């Protein structure tokens, strides 16, 4: 069953390169409503917990270092078919394989620095949104 909410993070590389406004414009232009948003900085512990599913992967340490090197923008988005539509909007993890006009094609440098996170399932969207926001922060 699909829901109408998903979670996203604009990653440190996109923040560092001044792409917050352009990415938010793409999100709004695709019909998503922002129901929660914050500019924050992940601690090492937060990044390790958030990406815990990757703990045994060889890239885990680099991922944690990347995600803690600078601020991020976390947001909960709302739209019919939110998870699937947002995954289409952000494009493939590897920007070289991403479709033209997608956020990663436009703003990402590499598979490691791919500018944005989007939940991959309705279940993960709920978990990830709750990780970053209390219930009173989501409208």
| CATH code of the domain covering residue 30 | 3.30.70.141
Query: What is residue 62's predicted lDDT score, i.e. its pLDDT?
Result: 95
Distance CA(134)–CA(54), nearest Å, equals 24
Q: Give the tens place of pLDDT for each residue, 71-124.
A: 999 999 999 999 999 999 999 999 999 999 999 999 999 999 999 999 999 999
- DSSP-assigned letter for residue 3: -
- Report the candidate in 131, 129, 105 with the shortest Cα–Cα distance to residue 118: 129
- Parent domain of 18: 5-137
- Report the candidate in 34, 32, 24 with the shortest Cα–Cα distance to residue 85: 32
- Neighbour-count burial of 4, counting CB atoms closer than 10 A to its CB (0-12 exposed, 13-18 middle, 19+ buried): middle
Q: Give the tens place of pLDDT for each residue, 5-56.
A: 999 999 999 999 999 999 999 999 999 999 999 999 999 999 999 999 999 9
Q: Is the pLDDT of residue 1 over 50?
A: no
Q: How confident is the model at residue 135 (pLDDT cuts 50, 70, 90)?
A: confident
Q: How many residues does the chain have?
A: 139
Q: Is the pLDDT of residue 3 over 90?
A: no
Query: What is residue 139's predicted lDDT score, i.e. its pLDDT?
Result: 85
Cα 111–133–104 angle (5° rounding)?
20
State how many domains the chain has: 1
Instruction: Read off the pTM.
Output: 0.94
117 belongs to the catalytic site: yes
Q: Spell out the alpha helix ranges (H) of the chain.
A: 12-16, 20-29, 44-50, 60-67, 82-90, 103-107, 122-132
Q: Which of 19, 41, 54, 117 is catalytic?
A: 117
Query: What is residue 2's predicted lDDT score, i.e. its pLDDT?
Result: 53
């Amino acid at each position: 069953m699909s829901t109408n909410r998903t979670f996203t993070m604009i990653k440190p590389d996109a923040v560092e390169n001044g792409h917050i406004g352009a990415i938010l414009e793409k999100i709004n232009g695709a019909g998503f409503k922002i129901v929660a948003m914050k500019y924050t900085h992940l601690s090492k512990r937060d990044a390790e917990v958030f990406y815990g599913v990757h703990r045994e992967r060889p890239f885990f340490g680099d991922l944690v270092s990347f995600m803690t090197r600078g601020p991020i923008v976390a947001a909960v988005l709302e739209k019919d078919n939110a998870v699937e539509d947002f995954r289409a909007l952000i494009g493939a993890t590897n920007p070289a394989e991403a479709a033209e006009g997608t956020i990663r094609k436009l703003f990402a440098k590499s598979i490691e620095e791919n500018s944005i996170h989007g939940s991959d399932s309705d279940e993960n969207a709920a978990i990830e949104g709750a990780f970053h926001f209390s219930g009173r922060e989501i409208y």
